[in-house]
Structure 1
Amino acid sequence: MRNLATPLALLLLCLAAPIVGTACGETERPDGGTGLLAVGAQAPALEATAHDGTTLELGSLGKPAVVYFYPADNTPGCTKEACAFRDIWTEYEAAGVMVIGVSTQDNASHIEFAEEHAIPFPLIADTDKTWATGFGVKLRGGYAERVSFLLDRNAKIVAVYPGVDPGVHAREVLDAAAKL
């Protein structure tokens, strides 16, 4: 009698790979793709009201923007990153580049965080994970992983920054944005 264990195991592995890949590493996006949106992709047409009441329509900004995802307000790395963007905010304004912070926490948390750290740019409360899944950002325990996207004035992605150093990332993105 022939041993069917190896072919059966291979068949099961092939059938399970797409499920495991999505569950363990790649976020399935509404457009049917998986993983982070790539350079050259159009950013999703998302709308939100920021913590400060500003309504943002991502496809209608008309200027370059940094959309940075961070896990949580008032945590060491996230505070460091937000304050790094804040500290060179006037340079972003002078370059005509908008900064948008996104996390899965609610507006009450963002308001407190922005007031405590004098954050001058909009923070999006992505409580339904629409922004994270739209950009293909991984969620761990309900929190977005740290990743940033640089968009041109037409909301086309020109750079993706996964796994950034929160202390120097804001300067790195500004330097790239200045070349747009």
Structure 2
Amino acid sequence: MSTRLAVGDAAPDFTLPDADGKPVSLSDYRGRRVIVYFYPAASTPGCTKQACDFRDSLADLGDAGLEVIGISPDKQAKLAKFRDAEGLTFPLLSDPDREVLTAWGVYGEKQMYGKTITGVIRSTFLVDPDGKIEQALYNVRASGHVAKLRRDLKV
């Protein structure tokens, strides 16, 4: 199990390819607040619901000065298909080696259908303009999570 991040921790920097293979780094967002969310698999029901909720809230989040990045272990081609099918306009990043997932504490044991498995722990982080963790939310639900996040952030 990887170590979990806490409020005030430095957000582990990363550079990962997006759905088109273009490298995206967390440091590209320095000076801005960014929501970094981790999800298990593109094009699955829960992950689609969550991504579409972010998509549908993107204008309001942007007006509040928030950017959104989604990260999963999916390969770039699967991310491109997911992005195109759902009309997603924020970066989806590929971490097939799970190095970033591990650094952020979102890859490890979790419960699924009553069994303990190893996989991506659905989690969301708010990173402040200085690159520090402002919120660390582990084990979030796919449905209703974005609405709760918006309420908490008053967006």
TM-score, scaled to structure 1: 0.74
Aligned: 1:76 with 2:45: yes
User: CA separation of 1:94/1:177 partners in 2, compared to 1, >3 Å: closer, same or farther?
Assistant: same
Q: Which residue of 2 aligns with 1:11?
A: none
Separation (CA, whole Å) in 2 of partners of 1:178 and 1:44:
26
Q: Is the 8 A contact 1:150 1:177 kept in 2?
A: no
Separation (CA, whole Å) in 2 of partners of 1:96 and 1:54:
23
2:27 is aligned with what amino acid?
A: G
The number of residues matched between the two structures is: 147
**Identity over aligned residues, as a percent?**
35
1:116 is aligned with what amino acid?
A: A
Give 1 or 2: higher helix fraction. Answer: 1
Kindly indicate whether structure 1 or structure 2 has the higher relative contact order, using CA contacts under 8 Å at least 6 residues apart.
2
Structure 2 residue ranges without an equivalent (≥5): 110-116
Structure exhibiting the larger radius of gyration computed from Cα positions: 1
Structure 1 residue ranges without an equivalent (≥5): 1-25, 28-34
C-alpha displacement of 1:55: 3.2
What are the Cα deviations for residues 22-67 of structure 1, in whole angstroms up to 9, with x where unaligned? xxxx21xxxxxxx211111001121122114553221341210111
Alignment of 1:1-180 (within 5 A): 26-27=1-2, 35-61=3-29, 62-139=31-108, 143-177=119-153
C-alpha displacement of 1:173: 2.5
Task: Compute the RMSD of aligned alpha carbons.
Answer: 1.9
SS at match of 2:71: strand
User: CA separation of 1:142/1:118 partners in 2, compared to 1, >3 Å: closer, same or farther?
Assistant: farther
C-alpha displacement of 1:142: 6.7
